[in-house]
């Protein structure tokens, strides 16, 4: 009985220590990535390649999802606003929901599943097939050559993807609200223009997407770099990337929202 | 300049508590092809990784081209590695770029040569391994033997003084086996390099190497020229060279008595 309890406690302790240890290693990895970023900026074509892989190739899923999310917002928003006779405010509702919350959050969640998982799998497999070791043997630092360009490529892409998501969402809201249901077009746009503040809403949304971009990319890169070099190891790391970064996005969103929109 | 490119004296290495190499003495003269042989798990790949600087010796001296590997920082190690090539077991080619770009990779990373010169150098290296015609292929389109030859071209791109080969013969068909063996010998001679081959392919490597070290359970149990090795009557070497099933390396993994294990009752 007593030994069972001791074993249980020991297990919890070990898991906590392992967790803290991993956090430390991940932080060190992140700092090393920043430290070795100079070379990536001197050879900017490396970053451009990664912007293409992480950003441009994610466009389809981001644009299509943004459109549908906006259309649903248009439908649901109209239903509710109509009850209070204020359906002209649909533009505000759609734009603020997207720019402040849904744009950065949903775009980051999609980015984690589409690009984050790909980054983890690619780096994990590079490690499993000794490509990372080969690079080190050629006196090329893999953090500088492989990790840093991917980091910056993804971090630069993220705010653009979130902005495009929001833009498509607003278009979706417009299509459903104005074209389909018949909300007054003038009030849809003018109320939106009057109510959405550049600094308060758009800039905060951009800050959110940059923070999420950093979180998702660091998690994806670290999980790939830290994955055991086996098929099972890479598959588990890929799953962990999606789960951890989704939780990180939602947790960070709460913290950022609490700071940004308190009392507004 | 010392005559020996690699100098190892009383080298020991432990993974945490487990001692993998115990008191290794080995040297490789410039221009030689040496082989490190032994059965799987004997520590030969660990020894190769130590020479390449991927691991640090726990004790003893390891000198490559006059540089003490035990006291190198990363900058020093990377400087030394520019004069070193390594051929990984399955080539370890970068799968997202073509054969040409794979061979050009070290040149682009470490030199500021103009594009025309890089092209000439890459084609020369690919020609040396017989794969100039495959320059536009992607690594996924190559056979195992071809991938290893491309990797060999990549590892000689910067004209290194030393090349390390990790199991270069593993999984190759007889033709590729002979091609790879001859390439190792020819490139070593023509480029004036030194080669260290870690392998358990006795027949192929004895044809091309100058000197052989046999490693078993972390110690060097025998060494000599291919002729001396073939003539050796040491039980371990004899078992290894002739591929005998049982000997100093037992067929059976240590186990309790067979009858006990099957729980047979004496009649």
Answer whether A139 sits within 8 Å of B81, measured CB to CB.
yes
Tokens of B86: 């390594």
**Residue B72's pLDDT band (cuts 50, 70, 90):** confident
Can you say how many angstroms the Cα of residue A92 is from the centroid of all Cα atoms in its chain? 24
* A150 in contact with chain B, both atoms CB, cutoff 8 A: no
Measured CA to CA in angstroms, residue A27 lies from A16, A126, A228 at distances of: 16, 22, 19
Residues of chain A found within 8 Å of residue B90, distances taken between Cβ atoms: 129-130
* Average pLDDT of the segment spanning A203-231: 94
Chain A: residue whose CA lies nearest to B77: A139
With 0-12 CB in 10 A as exposed, 13-18 as middle and 19+ as buried, what is B254?
exposed
Answer for the pair B11, B59: CB distance below 8 angstroms, yes or no: yes
Interface touch A137/B81, C-beta < 8 Å = yes
Residue B266 DSSP label: P
Bridge pairing between strands B211-216 and B33-37: parallel
Residue B267 has a pLDDT of 59
Phi, psi of B198 (to 5 degrees): -95, 120
Task: Tally the C-alpha atoms within 13 A of residue B173's C-alpha that lie toward its C-beta.
Answer: 5
Q: Which of A262, A249, A257 is nearest to A219 (CA)?
A: A249
CB-CB under 8 Å, B106 with A134: no
Domain residue spans of chain A:
44-258
The answer to whether B169 touches B203, Cβ cutoff 8 Å, is no
Beta-bridged to residue B8, according to DSSP, are B26, B62
* Amino acid B266: pLDDT: 62
| B74-96 pLDDT, tens digit each | 888 888 888 898 998 888 999 98
Nearest residue of A to residue B52, measured between CA atoms: A137
Q: Where are the alpha helices (DSSP H) in chain A?
A: 2-35, 38-42, 44-50, 59-83, 90-96, 103-111, 117-128, 131-137, 142, 148-174, 185-195, 204-226, 231-260
Put simply, the answer to whether A137 touches B84 (Cβ < 8 Å) is: yes
Chains A & B: contacts with CB separation below 8 Å: 47
pLDDT value at A263 more than 60: no
Q: What is the pLDDT of residue B226?
A: 87
Please report, for residues B12, B22, B43, B55, the alpha-carbon distance to residue B18 in angstroms, rounded to integers and kept in the order given.
11, 11, 12, 15
Please indicate whether, in this complex, the C-beta atoms of A138 and B109 are within 8 angstroms of each other: yes
Average pLDDT over residues A124-141: 92
Q: Is the distance from CB of A39 to CB of A142 less than 8 angstroms?
A: no
Is the ipTM of this structure higher than 0.90? no
**Tokens at residue A180, please?**
């389909």
* pLDDT for A177 beyond 80: yes
DSSP structure string for B80-144? HHTTEEEE-TT----TTS-HHHHHHHHHHHH----HHHHHHHHHHHHHHTT-GGGTTS-GGGS-H
**pLDDT tier, B106 (very low <50, low <70, confident <90, very high otherwise):** very high
The stretch A72-81 carries a mean pLDDT of 93
Spatial neighbors of B165 by CB under 8 A, at least 6 apart, are B86, B87, B184, B195, B196, B197, B198, B199
Q: For residue B252, what is the DSSP state?
A: S
Residue B61 near residue B9, CB atoms below 8 Å = yes
Nearest to B198 by CA among B183, B209, B186: B209
**B38 inside 8 A of chain A by CB:** no
Residues of A in contact with B93 (CB under 8 A): 131, 134
- CA-to-CA distance for B136 and B183, rounded, in angstroms? 22
Asked whether the predicted pLDDT for residue A110 surpasses 70, the reply is yes
What's the pLDDT at B37? 87
The region of weakest confidence among A10-19, A243-252, B75-84, B114-123 is B75-84
Please identify among residues 121-150 of chain B the ones whose CB lies closer than 8 Å to any CB of chain A. Answer: none
Residue B222: what pLDDT? 85
CA angle A180-A183-A189, nearest 5°? Answer: 110
């Amino acid at each position: 009985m007593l030994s069972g309890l001791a074993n249980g406690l020991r297990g919890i302790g070990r898991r906590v220590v392992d967790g803290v240890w991993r956090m430390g290693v991940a932080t060190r990895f992140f700092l090393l990535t920043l430290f070795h970023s100079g070379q990536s900026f001197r050879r900017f074509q490396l970053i451009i390649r990664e912007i293409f892989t992480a950003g441009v190739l994610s466009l389809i899923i981001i644009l299509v999802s943004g459109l549908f999310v906006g259309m649903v917002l248009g439908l649901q928003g109209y239903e509710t606003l109509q009850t209070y006779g204020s359906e002209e405010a649909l533009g505000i509702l759609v734009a603020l929901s997207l720019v402040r919350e849904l744009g950065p959050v949903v775009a980051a969640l999609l980015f984690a599943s589409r690009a984050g998982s790909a980054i983890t799998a690619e780096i994990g497999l590079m490690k499993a097939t000794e490509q990372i070791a080969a690079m080190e043997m050629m006196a090329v630092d893999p953090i500088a050559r492989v990790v840093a360009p991917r980091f910056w490529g993804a971090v630069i892409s993220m705010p653009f993807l979130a902005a495009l998501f929001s833009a498509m969402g607003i278009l979706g809201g417009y299509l459903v609200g104005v074209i389909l249901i018949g909300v007054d077009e003038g009030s849809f746009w003018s109320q939106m223009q009057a109510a959405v503040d550049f600094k308060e809403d758009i800039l905060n949304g951009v800050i959110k997407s940059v923070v999420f971009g950093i979180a998702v990319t660091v998690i994806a890169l670290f999980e790939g770099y830290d994955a055991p070099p086996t098929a099972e190891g890479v598959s588990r790391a890929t799953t962990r990337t999606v789960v951890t970064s989704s939780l990180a996005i939602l947790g960070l969103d709460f913290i950022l929202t609490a700071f940004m929109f308190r009392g507004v | 300049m010392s005559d020996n490119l690699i100098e190892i004296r009383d080298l020991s290495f432990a993974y945490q508590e487990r001692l993998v190499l115990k008191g290794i003495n080995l040297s490789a003269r410039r221009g030689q092809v040496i082989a490190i042989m032994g059965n799987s798990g004997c520590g030969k790949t660990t020894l190769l990784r130590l020479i390449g600087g991927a691991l640090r010796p726990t004790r003893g001296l390891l000198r490559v081209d006059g540089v003490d590997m035990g006291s190198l920082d990363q900058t020093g190690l990377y400087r030394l590695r520019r004069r070193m090539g390594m051929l990984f077991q399955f080539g370890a080619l970068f799968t997202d770029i073509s054969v040409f770009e794979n061979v050009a990779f070290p040149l682009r990373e470490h030199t500021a040569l103009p594009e025309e010169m890089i092209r000439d150098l890459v084609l020369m290296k690919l020609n040396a391994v017989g794969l100039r015609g495959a320059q536009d292929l992607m690594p996924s389109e190559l056979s195992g033997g071809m991938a290893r030859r491309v990797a060999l071209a990549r590892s000689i791109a910067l004209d290194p003084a030393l090349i390390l080969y990790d199991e270069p013969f593993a999984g190759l068909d007889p033709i590729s086996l002979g091609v790879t063996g001859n390439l190792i010998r020819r490139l070593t001679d023509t480029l004036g390099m030194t080669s260290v081959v870690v392998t358990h392919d006795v027949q192929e490597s004895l044809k091309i190497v100058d000197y052989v070290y046999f490693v078993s359970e972390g110690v060097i149990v025998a060494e000599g020229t291919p002729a001396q090795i073939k003539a050796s009557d040491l039980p371990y070497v004899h078992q290894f060279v002739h591929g005998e099933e049982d000997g100093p390396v037992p067929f059976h993994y240590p186990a309790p008595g067979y009858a006990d294990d099957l729980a047979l009752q004496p009649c």
